[in-house]
Amino acid sequence: MSGARGKVALPFSTEDGTAKAGKDYEHVEGELVYNNEENSKTISIPIIEEESYEKNVVMYVNLGEPKHIAGASGEGEGVNYEELDAKDPEDLTEDEKVALLGRPRLGDITKIQIRIRESKEFKNSVDRMLKRGNASMMVGASSWKDQFLDAFTVQAGDDEEGEEGEEGEGEEKMPTCGDYIMHFLTLFWKVLFAIIPPAGIMNGYLCFVVSIAFIGVCTAVIGDVASQLGCFIYLKDSVNAIAFVALGTSVPDTFASKVAAIQDDTADASVGNVTGSNAVNVFLGIGIAWSMAAVYWSAQGEQFVVPVGSLGFSVTVFCIEALVAIAILFIRRNPAVGGELGGPKNIKTITSGIFVFLWVFYVMIAALEAYKVIEPGF
């Protein structure tokens, strides 16, 4: 609108487009009153909050013909523009011509389009959950076809995620050479475990039962292969169990713990996953096997006997190292030292080195005790 002399009223009203009044916004209409020489006003339109993932609708604001308010203070006060328009231009005085030039009138744009989009924070949160979470668990739409396609697809590592831009869309990472190597090394296991039913079937119960069965088969295979290796290199069973069997069954748990840590703000979910995974491995590797052996030998009229061995020393060393590991997690939880997980490269490397040293030290001490190099006496 042009013309800022005198007191002027500008009518306005909202109009539906793809956005609907009462659903996407509140309908507003009225007049904006401009005082003398005032040339800007604001129209407030309440937007109805709606957590929509891909909301993209439009509405309009129509501007009516401005009108001068007679009797107001300022230049142009009391001017009857209708009478001036009816006069012949040659009969107008200089003051009347100036008054017509200063009359309020609309410009070329009389209709404004307003686009209502989804909340960026809400959309980014959903995108992050879908990206980091298990798709079959989050949306329940996974299928065997999707699982096999994912198994054959080389995916980029997620250690260094690209930062999201202003629109909340990070650049897509391309697989590195290391990603391709790891993909081909693990392709057999990816295809094998793609056979497991999707979590969306039977509310996940079928997936749970079949997964436990697969873990049992994996534990049995690793145990037998490790036992054969121990026989070839004349390694005692206790040392073989600590060095190879435990390592072989725990490495997959490490990757699962990584996923659990990524999905949580702290290491609590990761620690819980380690505890649960070890419990499943012990249950499948020892509990079921010993139970079946006990039932079999009992049916034969004999007893199933397992030598006790010397567990006191190794359990003591294990408990001490576990306390050290938990203490490190508590110290790392302080943001001043880089956070509980990840953090600066130096702190992250030192922490990882300490954990690896604890494992190597435990295996070494247990092996020395098993071969009678040291005799703790308990």
pLDDT band at 144 (very low <50, low <70, confident <90, very high): confident
Task: Encode pLDDT of 321-344 as tens digits.
Answer: 999 998 988 888 777 776 777 778
Please report which helix (H) or strand (E) contains residue 99, including its range: helix 94-101
CATH of the domain at 101: 2.60.40.2030
Residue of higher predicted confidence among 106 and 22: 22
Tokens of 234: 């004349």
List, for residues 292-328, the tens digit of each pLDDT value.
899 999 999 999 887 766 678 888 898 999 999 989 8
**Tokens representing residue 1 in the block:** 């609108």
Residue 350 domain flag:
no
What's the pLDDT score for residue 348? 85
Q: What is the pLDDT of residues 220-233, one digit of tens each?
A: 788 788 888 888 88
Average pLDDT over residues 16-22: 88
Mean of the per-residue pLDDT values of the chain: 77
Confidence of residue 135 (pLDDT cuts 50, 70, 90): very low
- Whether residue 78 lies inside any domain: the answer is yes
CA distance to 46, 139, 171, 227, per residue, from 53 (Å): 20, 14, 20, 54
Tell me whether residue 300 is in a domain: no
- Position 88 pLDDT exceeds 50: yes
Residues 6+ apart with CB under 8 A from 154: 175, 179, 180, 183
Count of domains for the chain: 1
- Average pLDDT score over residue span 284-289: 78
Do 57 and 115 meet the contact criterion of CB atoms below 8 Å apart?
yes
Backbone phi, psi, residue 80, to 5°:
-95, 100
What string of DSSP letters covers 239-277?
HHIIIIIHHHHHHHHHHHHHHHHHTSSSSHHHHHHHHHH
**Enclosing domain of residue 86:** 8-118
Q: Is residue 128 part of a domain?
A: no
Residue 137, pLDDT above cutoff 60:
no
Between 175 and 352, the more confident residue is: 352
Residue 377's Cα: distance from chain center in Å?
A: 51
pLDDT tens string 177-219: 888 898 888 888 888 888 888 877 887 888 888 888 887 788 7
- Among all chains, which residue has been given the structure tokens 């980029």? 156
**Residue 227 maps to a domain:** no
| Alpha-carbon gap, residue 244 to 365, rounded angstroms | 15
For 145-184, write each residue's pLDDT tens digit. Answer: 888 888 888 877 655 444 444 444 445 567 888 888 988 8
Instruction: List, for residues 28-78, the tens digit of each pLDDT value.
Output: 998 888 887 777 888 888 888 776 666 788 899 998 888 777 554 444 445
- Euclidean distance between CA atoms 155 and 31, whole angstroms: 58
The predicted structure's pLDDT at residue 229: 83
Residue 70 lies inside a defined structural domain of this protein: yes
pLDDT digits (tens, 9 = 90+) for 230-258: 888 888 877 887 888 777 777 777 777 77
More confident position, 145 or 2: 145
**Residue 160, in any domain of the structure:** no
Indicate whether 29 belongs to any domain: yes
End-to-end Cα, the chain, rounded Å: 95
Stretch 116-124: mean pLDDT, rounded? 70
